[in-house]
Amino acid sequence: MVSSGILSKAAKSFGFDVETLAFISNSTNEVYRFSKNDSQYILRLSEKSFDYVNRINAEVHWVRYLAENGIQASLPITTTDGELTAVYNENEKWVIATAFQMASGIFFDREPGMWGPSLFHQWGELMGKIHSLTKSYNPGDLSLKRAEWGPAILDNPHLREGSYRILLDKLQSLESLISSFPKDEKSYGLIHYDFHPYNFLIDQGKITVFDFDDAIYGWFALDIGVAAAHAVWWGSPKHDRKSKREFATRFLNEFLTGYLKQNSLETYWIQQIPLFMDYRNISSFFWWLSSWDGDEGHLSEFQKSAIANAVERIQKGLPFDGCDIQL
């Protein structure tokens, strides 16, 4: 957790009373809510190296572009000096602060009746519009450019041993295939890369998307695959393989109907979506285990079960549940 000194500096940078801060979460970033002029905002604090500042500036620059062109997104606000970010140094660590208007609405699981074809259709339509706008987006300043997709860099030696090696081989096999895919402006551009159901709120039937922190240059079909994989994780009515396959098919039929209203995508790329879903599933293990110390006793029962099931599927030559579909 950052110090009270950093929080006070952030309050001064964005012009709000530090006493209004309320902690929300601490995973990839520390996230707080604050009040200013009777409105609610989000403060995001990222402990990164100093050279990461340009990447975050690139993120918020793109989000502002999308919002200015009709995307319902949580709009970044500037500091009192008119900057998109504020940067602080404390104890030889850099903290990068950004602030956003707080999206209105509720998550999909607050009202179960919202989770269905209409929402899937709108979700797809919003992503299609983002991808369409991406094609004409030019950051201008080369420093305002997000990273390109690339194979994962894994520094944890424990993930190269025993059954974890099976997971790694699966990941690297998919990465090798993905690396061979062509790139062109019709299929590849700046994508959200984490547009899952807990990264948007719904207000009177309208979606507001947020958390563009993972945005990269990648394939549009990859962005769709990420959304679909998460939809199956959290939204399939049952958890057996058959039910997940049926749900994935229904979800993507609705999602793509909305998507294709806003952005065209060749059949070849639509057919790759299950592969990208499989890739997202296997990648999740390496996100969970990135700082694992090799002690299996430190894994949750959920993680142990998920890993065992994944290894069994891979050894049988099966994709993950919900990814065994054809489009």
Question: Contact, 76 vs 64, CB < 8 A?
Answer: yes
Q: What is the 3-state secondary structure (H, E, C) of 235-262?
A: HCCCCCHHHHHHHHHHHHHHHHHHHHHH
CA pair distance 224, 15, nearest whole angstrom: 38
Burial class (CB in 10 A: 0-12, 13-18, 19+), 276: buried
Please name the residue that has the structure tokens 């030696």: 157
Within 52-143, residue ranges assigned H as helices are 53-68, 117-134
pLDDT per residue as tens, the chain (327 positions): 889 999 999 999 999 999 999 999 998 899 999 999 999 999 999 999 988 999 999 999 999 999 999 999 999 999 999 999 999 998 888 999 999 999 999 999 999 789 999 999 999 999 999 999 999 999 888 788 999 999 999 889 999 998 899 999 999 999 999 999 999 999 999 999 999 999 999 999 899 999 999 999 999 999 999 999 999 999 999 999 999 999 999 999 999 999 999 999 999 999 999 999 999 999 999 999 999 999 999 999 999 999 999 999 999 999 999 999 999
Question: Pick from 184, 182, 191: which is nearest to 134 by CA?
Answer: 191
Question: Pick from 76, 28, 63: which is nearest to 215 by CA?
Answer: 63
Domains of the chain (ranges; CATH) run 4-101 (3.30.200.20), 109-315 (3.90.1200.10)
Question: Pick from 21, 19, 16, 18: which is nearest to 36 by CA?
Answer: 16
Helices (H), strands (E): how many in the chain?
Answer: 9, 10
| 74-94 CB burial, b ≥16 within 10 A, e <16 | bbbbbbeeeebbbbbeeeeeb
